[in-house]
Amino acid sequence: QVKTRTNRHGGILGGITSGMPIVFRAAVKPTSSIAQRQESVSLAEKTGVPLEIHGRHDPCITTRAVPVVEAAMAIALLDAYFCASTNTTKDSPWL
């Protein structure tokens, strides 16, 4: 099997796969706590209640981000495949 010595190119050379694993990086913005008072609804009492958060209560979204990034990558690859196979690459922002 012919393959490159390293995969520093992430598996894609000039927009075409080299046969090596596709590697990419993704960044996720941290979620934020909204300190401003908001109006919400109590489902138990079915009345309007104020909602106010004191301090920072940022959840760890790392475990949820992995499948989201994988799905986004799969959609982007499928879009690129369909655009290339139907010869409408001018309509896709990815190609």
10 part of a folded domain: no
Domain, as residue range, for 78: 25-91
Closest among 27, 80, 21 to 8, alpha carbons compared: 21
In the chain, where does DSSP find H-type helix?
62-86
Task: Note the pLDDT tens digit of each residue in 37-78.
Answer: 899 999 999 999 998 888 777 777 888 888 999 999 999 888
d(CA 16, CA 85): 14
Pairwise CA distance, residues 20 & 81, whole Å: 17
Confidence (pLDDT) at 88: 56
65 in a structural domain:
yes
| Residue 57 falls inside a structural domain | yes
Residue 62 pLDDT: 80
- H or E element that contains 48: strand 47-51
